[in-house]
Amino acid sequence: MAAGRYPYFSRAGWLPLLACAGVGVLIAHYLGWPWSLPFWVGCAVIVYLFRDPEREIPSSPLAVVSPADGVIASVGEVHDPYLDRQAILLVIEMSRFGVYSTRSPVEGKFLEPSNSGDGVNRPHGVWLKTDEDDDLVVVMHRGPLKNLPRCYVQIGQRVGQGQRCGFIRMGGRVEVYLPINSRVQVASGSRVNAGSDVIATLVHK
């Protein structure tokens, strides 16, 4: 799928990388290479910040993988305001210097929640429906710079488990609303990697 073909370096980083390298080339041409050194250091920093390593996706179709790199901040039963149901909420706090790409926790279709909120008092959530009719909601909050998360997948598009689907510059908070009968496999304080670490298993009778 198109949204997943960006290994090792996030496509969100190409513009700042090319801009920094372009200025470095101009400075080197007109003032000399020593003056352009800070811009090449900047390019190295950009490559590090926008790194997007490959991940080994679990083979279990009922596994829910972490949508982001970070630490589990909390796990608990709550009322899901997006699908108006009881759910298990997992909150993941991303690092400001970690991998910024986000991934789909399951294979399924992106849908618009019927109760998505006004976009001001409630962050926008994306409803994921699996082929087995399991419903998950993933919410990406703004990062520390108050920049909006970027989503590569359109409503109605199918995504694969662990597929790259978004980006939060400088990290942020990601929430996952799971079916209430899901079996959670992490606890507060657990460190998880997007796409490879299983945070829960969907339970079918």
Q: pLDDT digit string (tens) for 140-155?
A: 887 666 667 778 888 8
13 and 104 inside one domain: no
Q: How much of the chain, in percent, has pLDDT values that exceed 70?
A: 90
Q: How much of the chain, in percent, has pLDDT values that exceed 90?
A: 56
109 and 187 inside one domain: yes
Domain presence at residue 110: yes
Domain presence at residue 189: yes
What CATH number has the domain bearing residue 79?
2.70.70.10
Domain presence at residue 57: no
pLDDT at 197: 94
Give the chain as a 3 state SS string.
CHHHCCCEECHHHHHHHHHHHHHHHHHHHHHCHHHHHHHHHHHHHHHHHCEECCCCCCCCCCEEECCCCEEEEEEEEEEECCCCEEEEEEEEECCCCCCCEEECCCCEEEECCCCCCCCCCCCCEEEEECCCCCEEEEEECCCCCCCCCEECCCCCCEECCCCEEEECCCCCEEEEEEECCCEECCCCCCEECCCCCEEEECCCC
Domains identified in the chain, total number = 2
Residue numbers of the domain that contains 169: 63-201
127 and 197 inside one domain: yes
46 and 106 inside one domain: no
pLDDT at 167: 84
38 and 67 inside one domain: no
Domain presence at residue 122: yes
pLDDT at 125: 83
161 and 93 inside one domain: yes
163 and 87 inside one domain: yes
Domain presence at residue 58: no
70 and 155 inside one domain: yes
106 and 44 inside one domain: no
pLDDT at 6: 53
The residue among 30, 52, 74 that closes a domain is 52
Q: Where is average pLDDT lowest: 48-62, 84-98, 125-139? A: 48-62
76 and 115 inside one domain: yes
Report pLDDT digits (tens) over 16-62: 999 999 999 999 999 999 999 999 999 999 888 888 888 889 888 89
The predicted model gives 98-118 an average pLDDT of: 83
Mean pLDDT in the chain? 87
Residue 9 pLDDT greater than 90, yes or no: no
76 and 136 inside one domain: yes
85 and 185 inside one domain: yes
